């Protein structure tokens, strides 16, 4: 048995949607700027910045995308021993 879902809606996202495949592992570099996000954990809403703030202590990262490692570390999902 094979099932296929070829709905065109799977490819329809806003330009600033968080798509992990489009993010770098590390900050900055050539990656899309995406909007900040909110997520729920145990019924508590958390807001998470995906872009470094304009007053970040490393000037070259101000306004740059954080990258997957930083995003997952902030959520407690990055393994301490690394990958």
Residue 23 included in any domain:
yes
The residue count of the chain comes to 83
Are 52 and 70 within 8 A, CB to CB? no
Q: E strands, 1-83, where?
A: 37-41, 44-48
Residue 65 included in any domain:
yes
pLDDT in tens, 14-59: 777 777 787 888 887 787 767 788 888 899 999 988 889 999 999 9
Within 10 A of 38 (CB to CB), how many other CB atoms are there?
Answer: 8
Give me the pLDDT at residue 62, please: 92
Range of the domain at 66: 14-74
Residue 62 included in any domain:
yes
Residue 81 included in any domain:
no
Residue 6 included in any domain:
no
Q: Which alpha helices (H) appear in the chain, and where do they start and end?
A: 68-74
Measured in degrees and rounded to the nearest 5, phi and psi for residue 66 equal -75, -35
Residue 7 included in any domain:
no
Residue 21 included in any domain:
yes
Quick check: pTM over 0.75?
A: no
């Amino acid at each position: 048995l094979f099932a296929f879902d070829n709905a065109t809606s799977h490819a329809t996202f806003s330009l600033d949607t968080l798509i992990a495949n489009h993010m770098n592992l590390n900050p900055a570099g050539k990656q899309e700027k995406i909007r900040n996000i909110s997520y729920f954990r145990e019924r508590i809403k958390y807001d998470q910045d995906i872009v470094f703030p304009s007053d970040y202590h490393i000037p070259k990262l101000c306004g740059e995308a954080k990258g997957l490692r930083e995003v997952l570390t902030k959520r407690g999902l990055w393994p301490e021993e690394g990958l």
